[in-house]
Amino acid sequence: MYKSEQLALSLKHLIESGVWKPNEKLPSLRQQAETSGFSLITVMNAYQELEAQGLIYSKEKLGYFMTEDPNTIKIAKTVILNEKIEINSTIFRYLKSIQSEDIIPFGIAFPDSQLLYSPKLMQTLGQRAKHRLSYEQMPSLPPGNLDLRKLIAQRYCMQGIPTDPSDIVITSGGLDALNLSLQTLTKPGDYILLQETVFYGAWQATEHLGLKVITIPVHPEHGLDLDAFKNAITHYPIKVCLLMLNSQNPIGFTVSDAIKLQLAKLLQEHQIYLIEDDVYEELYFGHKKPLSMKYFDQQNRVLHCSSFSKTLGAGFRVGWVYAGKFSESIQHLQLMSTLSVNSFIQNALAEYLSHRYYEKHLKTLRNTLKRLKNQYYQYLIKNLPDNCQVHYYPSGYFLWITLPAYIDGNRVYHHMLEHKVSIAPGSLFYRSEKIPHHIRINCSFELNDKTQNALDLLTQYIAHYESNP
Amino acid sequence: MYKSEQLALSLKHLIESGVWKPNEKLPSLRQQAETSGFSLITVMNAYQELEAQGLIYSKEKLGYFMTEDPNTIKIAKTVILNEKIEINSTIFRYLKSIQSEDIIPFGIAFPDSQLLYSPKLMQTLGQRAKHRLSYEQMPSLPPGNLDLRKLIAQRYCMQGIPTDPSDIVITSGGLDALNLSLQTLTKPGDYILLQETVFYGAWQATEHLGLKVITIPVHPEHGLDLDAFKNAITHYPIKVCLLMLNSQNPIGFTVSDAIKLQLAKLLQEHQIYLIEDDVYEELYFGHKKPLSMKYFDQQNRVLHCSSFSKTLGAGFRVGWVYAGKFSESIQHLQLMSTLSVNSFIQNALAEYLSHRYYEKHLKTLRNTLKRLKNQYYQYLIKNLPDNCQVHYYPSGYFLWITLPAYIDGNRVYHHMLEHKVSIAPGSLFYRSEKIPHHIRINCSFELNDKTQNALDLLTQYIAHYESNP
């Protein structure tokens, strides 16, 4: 055992024996070093370990403080941040494993590319390629193609969100938008709040940037648990939240306007920034597009990230962030990484969006996804054992399934992969020491003999699952 | 003055008075804190300041040591790394200033897009857009399109560099390749070696990643100064070099094979990695493509970065890195940032490169650049005052001009911009407290009335430059 672990352990005993009151300041690093006889570095490491365990927290320049009685903090949980390579490798291996063309891709994150095919967009691309347009070869430097930014800004305005083209920065897909936003708003060691079950990209990015992650659980009814949120921001010096509130990946819920309004007030009161991952915003089944947090944002505290990846094709790698006053910082980061986004595609998208083609395409896409999701849902609730719960929400193309606690989602994933069917195991989306008994199904593929057969295999395996194979 | 600056200053006096011998260990942080009465943090800051000034150096876990007599180390210079925002903002403002369409763009980094226009590539793009190819919409996950990687690998093989497609990772342009390579090989605080005068992207990236930069001057005859290089790697624990050796930006030189071989031996001996920025590799005017350092690399110590930006169009944002054993690390980073590169363009490039179109296109491009560079060079040596030096090298499309020491390149830049002509001031490429008396001219634009007029303006301004305006 390292000295710092030894010290952390003995301090933990002191904490549990109630030596310090909630929010009481702990001895300074220097004091602790003198008392304990350990070096300053050892003391620092021990404090950081306790902080990572959620037992104490730090305030800049003021030192370390006791959290509320750790036993009462059941809602907000910290995550220990030393598994960087392991997590990333898991996801890496997962993504590689499901890439093969002969695999039924229920596990992938993208909708069936057949549904995203827009003849008009490809026609536009083809026409642009015919003419000797010199600016296709020129990079459109940050913040990106002005016409495209104007059209994106218009779409915000149509929802009642005042937007200027200069608020928008075009990025290399939605993931790039998230990552640039995180880099702009945080520095290593900052606290960030995530949903407990969330798109794995969020885990990767926060770990890579050395952020301290606080999670709040998903509310079974409302999606976002406001009490847990309040609890978390009261107990930890959270600087930024990264949340999905519309058609959340992997679960699928959309948070109500009432709760979004409350959330906006809390962000304002506590001066916390929100990075909103809203890449599924267009895939609602109802009559009205759900509002983004940007609608409720009075203080420029929300960076809204979205993309064309889930509507026109993830292969294009075009996303954006409503960056507002952070536009310049984000552009600075682009000048050191991707420089800009493919100008040929940006030009074509700008032309395409200036007609009504996109709206028509989206309407068809939504109708198709709605039909398919219903078909999959009906099939699954009919054929899965009663002790499985299929979570249906009227948007997107994921179905999140809670299996009985004894069924290991990872085993389901490995078994199905042997039969050339991919599913996404719950373990990609949360961290738990319990058996990860969830799976996510992509239901954007037409039901035909092959996909139907794959679903049969899945439901049969689950129905006859034996806990000790 | 901060306490740490005060302490650094008094320690500097001690150093200059010769209290410590070269390579002697300095008092530990703790000892120094006790002796001086300053806090540990203050001492740490003071030591880091002295390190940044090149007076002392650190070895992991061993503490700080005196450098060789600092007065003798004239060749290798350290650069103080606290100007992050300032440098980046300068480049940002510069790039914004020259973007307008009505400016004669002698300052831009890209060749005239007219020259990069390849009808066959655009035809390929157009044809692909016509067919309902579902995989255009699908992201081609890292390491990128296999056919494209095969064709890139073939080009290495043709030069005698054994390459497997799995060695190559497709990136969002050459800058992304450099940045991903840097992130893979370094952690904050590591020492990196750069050329003293170099593409500004290198400065930005190293600063952003918190690296300690050691520079070596450009050798007036050979481009790379091997003695300075040896001196630098002997005195500093350099982990990575980032160098341009073919058609170097901004100066233009190409380093000889003999020197590259020596360099490869030194990298091997000292176990140093090289990130080679080779984006101008195809723009040679001679009969044979210059070899990259990858050719001389026996130990997988070279990450070779290149792109199609200088040959087919920077707007496409497609580059690559010969990553070898680092392929997986780089892909991990991509999974957290851009995810992948536009698959539509990758597919089209793969098809295009599989024919001989690219070779023909390159041949025409080289001939045109050669003709233009000669025209500009002849004009400039005829019309610039004799005390100006125009550096001509037979490759690329940049002319680097050394002005007399009293002419401020920044003033030339500002003056020309008022007349709607951009040039690149030397200050973008090096850090100096002296007047930056260099400018870089992009000579890839056909000489017509407009460009000729712009050159007239430039040469006249320099000829009649008055040091006190």
Phi, psi dihedral angles at B391 (to 5 degrees): -90, 115
The sign of the CA dihedral B86, B92, B94, B96 is: negative
Residue B125 lies in a domain: no
In the prediction, which pLDDT does B134 show? 61
Residue B439 to residue B17: CA distance in whole angstroms: 40
The residue count of chain A comes to 469
Mean pLDDT, range A140-161, rounded to an integer: 94
Task: Please report where in the chains the tokens 């890496």 appear, as a residue.
Answer: A92
Mean pLDDT, range A13-39, rounded to an integer: 80
Chain A nearest-CA residue for B111: A138
Residue A144 has pLDDT above 90, yes or no: yes
Q: Looking at residue A248, which CATH number applies to its domain?
A: 3.40.640.10
Q: Spell out a b/e string for A250-262, using b for 16 or more CB atoms within 10 Å of the CB, else e.
A: bbbbbbbeebbeb
Return the DSSP state at B387: T
- Domain span at residue A46 reads 3-72
In the prediction, which pLDDT does A86 show? 54
Among A138, A115, A116, which residue's Cα sits nearest to residue A347? A138
Residue B79 has pLDDT above 80, yes or no: no
Helix (H, G, I), strand (E, B) or coil at A178: helix
Helix (H, G, I), strand (E, B) or coil at B453: helix
Residue A454 has pLDDT above 70, yes or no: yes
What is the CB neighbour count within 10 angstroms for residue A382? 8
Q: Spell out a b/e string for A449-458, using b for 16 or more CB atoms within 10 Å of the CB, else e.
A: eebeebbebb
- ipTM for the assembly: 0.80
Residue B78 lies in a domain: no
Same domain, A366 and A352: no
Task: Please report where in the chains the tokens 């009814």 appear, as a residue.
Answer: A221
In the prediction, which pLDDT does B86 show? 55
DSSP result, A38-56: --HHHHHHHHHHHHHTTSE
B227-282 pLDDT, tens per residue?
A: 999 999 998 999 999 999 999 999 999 999 999 999 999 999 999 999 999 999 99
Mean pLDDT, range A341-355, rounded to an integer: 93
Residue B228 lies in a domain: yes
Choose among B92, B117, B140: nearest Cβ to A332. Answer: B92
Q: Looking at residue A397, which CATH number applies to its domain?
A: 3.90.1150.10
Which of A96, A130, A137, A145 would you mutate first to test chain B, the one with the most B CBs within 10 A? A137
Assess A117–B contact: CB distance below 8 Å, yes or no: yes
Q: Which residues pair with B375 in a beta bridge?
A: none
Residue A376 lies in a domain: yes
Mean pLDDT, range A363-373, rounded to an integer: 98
Residue B121 has pLDDT above 60, yes or no: yes
In the prediction, which pLDDT does A23 show? 82
A220-279 pLDDT, tens per residue?
A: 999 999 999 999 999 889 999 999 999 999 999 999 999 999 999 999 999 999 999 999
| Structure-token pair, residue A330 | 């984000």
- Return the beta strands (E) in A9-96 as ranges: 56-59, 63-66, 77-78
Q: Which residues of A touch B91 (CB under 8 A)?
A: 335
Same domain, B110 and B24: no
Task: Please report where in the chains the tokens 């083609």 appear, as a residue.
Answer: A357
Q: Which amino acid is at A370?
A: K
Choose among A92, A313, A335: nearest Cβ to B335. Answer: A92
Chains A and B form CB pairs within 8 A to the count of 192
Among A123, A239, A204, A217, which residue's Cα sits nearest to residue A428? A204
Choose among B110, B336, B340: nearest Cβ to A201. Answer: B336
Segment holding B233, helix H or strand E: helix B226-235
* Percent of chain A at pLDDT exceeding 70: 93
Same domain, A364 and A416: yes
A317–B337 CB contact, under 8 Å: no
Residue A90 lies in a domain: no
The residue count of chain B comes to 469
Same domain, A336 and A195: yes
Residue A124 lies in a domain: no
More confident residue, A115 or A26: A115
Shortest Cα–Cα distance, B14 to chain A (Å): 27
In the prediction, which pLDDT does B87 show? 60
Q: Pick from B359, B386, B417: which residue ends a domain?
A: B359
Shortest Cα–Cα distance, A469 to chain B (Å): 33
A194-204 pLDDT, tens per residue?
A: 999 998 888 88
What is the CB neighbour count within 10 angstroms for residue B227? 10
Residue B119: asked if its preceding bond is cis (omega within 30°), the reply is no
Mean pLDDT, range B184-198, rounded to an integer: 93
In the prediction, which pLDDT does B467 show? 65
Q: Which residues pair with B275 in a beta bridge?
A: B242, B303
Q: Which residues of A touch B116 (CB under 8 A)?
A: 137
Same domain, B150 and B243: yes
Residue B83 lies in a domain: no
Q: Which residues pair with A439 in a beta bridge?
A: A401, A425
Same domain, A209 and A197: yes
Assess B136–A contact: CB distance below 8 Å, yes or no: yes
A294-327 pLDDT, tens per residue?
A: 999 999 999 999 999 999 998 999 999 999 999 9
Assess A136–B contact: CB distance below 8 Å, yes or no: yes
Q: Which residues contact B437 (CB under 8 A, 6 or more apart)?
A: B402, B403, B404, B405, B406, B407, B408, B409, B426
Same domain, B341 and B416: no
Mean pLDDT, range B133-142, rounded to an integer: 75
How far from A16 is each of A66, A68, A69, A100, CA to CA, in Å? 11, 12, 9, 51
Residue A228 to residue B9: CA distance in whole angstroms: 51
Q: Which residues of B touch A32 (CB under 8 A)?
A: none
Mean pLDDT, range B294-319, rounded to an integer: 95
Distance of CA B391 to the CA centre of its chain: 18
A138–B314 CB contact, under 8 Å: yes
Among A14-18, B168-172, B376-380, B447-451, name the one with the lowest average pLDDT: A14-18
**Which B residues, 199 through 218, put their C-beta within 8 Å of a C-beta on chain A?**
201, 204-205, 208
In the prediction, which pLDDT does B210 show? 87
More confident residue, B44 or B301: B301
Residue A432 has pLDDT above 80, yes or no: no
Residue A148 to residue B447: CA distance in whole angstroms: 33
Mean pLDDT, range B12-33, rounded to an integer: 80
Same domain, A162 and A303: yes
**Which B residues, 442 through 461, put their C-beta within 8 Å of a C-beta on chain A?**
none
Same domain, B383 and B313: no
Q: Which residues contact B357 (CB under 8 A, 6 or more apart)?
A: B118, B120, B121
Helix (H, G, I), strand (E, B) or coil at B241: strand
A395-416 pLDDT, tens per residue?
A: 999 999 999 999 999 999 999 9
B125–A125 CB contact, under 8 Å: yes
Helix (H, G, I), strand (E, B) or coil at A170: strand
Residue A70 to residue A56: CA distance in whole angstroms: 9
Residue B127 lies in a domain: no
Assess B41–A contact: CB distance below 8 Å, yes or no: no
Residue A295 to residue A317: CA distance in whole angstroms: 26
| 8 Å CB contact between A266 and A382 | no
Helix (H, G, I), strand (E, B) or coil at B81: coil
| Structure-token pair, residue A321 | 């962030």
Helix (H, G, I), strand (E, B) or coil at B228: helix
In the prediction, which pLDDT does A76 show? 40
Q: Which residues pair with B304 in a beta bridge?
A: B276, B322
* Phi and psi based region of residue B198 (left: phi greater than 0; alpha: psi -120 to 50; beta: remaining): beta
In the prediction, which pLDDT does A414 show? 94
Structural domain total, chain B: 3
Task: Please report where in the chains the tokens 């290593």 appear, as a residue.
Answer: A188
Same domain, A342 and A419: no
Return the DSSP state at B308: S
Winning range, highest mean pLDDT, from A67-76, A305-314, B85-94, B426-435: A305-314
Task: Please report where in the chains the tokens 């365990």 appear, as a residue.
Answer: A53
In the prediction, which pLDDT does A20 show? 78
Same domain, B41 and B96: no
Same domain, A310 and A378: no
In the prediction, which pLDDT does A73 show? 39
Residue B325 has pLDDT above 70, yes or no: yes
Helix (H, G, I), strand (E, B) or coil at B307: strand
In the prediction, which pLDDT does B72 show? 39
Return the DSSP state at A289: P
Secondary structure tally for chain B: helices H, strands E: 16, 18
Q: Looking at residue B55, which CATH number applies to its domain?
A: 1.10.10.10
Q: Which residues of A touch B136 (CB under 8 A)?
A: 113, 122, 313, 315
Choose among A89, A122, A338: nearest Cβ to B176. Answer: A338
Q: Which residues of A touch B139 (CB under 8 A)?
A: 110, 309, 314-315, 317
Which of B339, B351, B428 would you mutate first to test chain A, the one with the most A CBs within 10 A? B339
In the prediction, which pLDDT does B5 show? 74
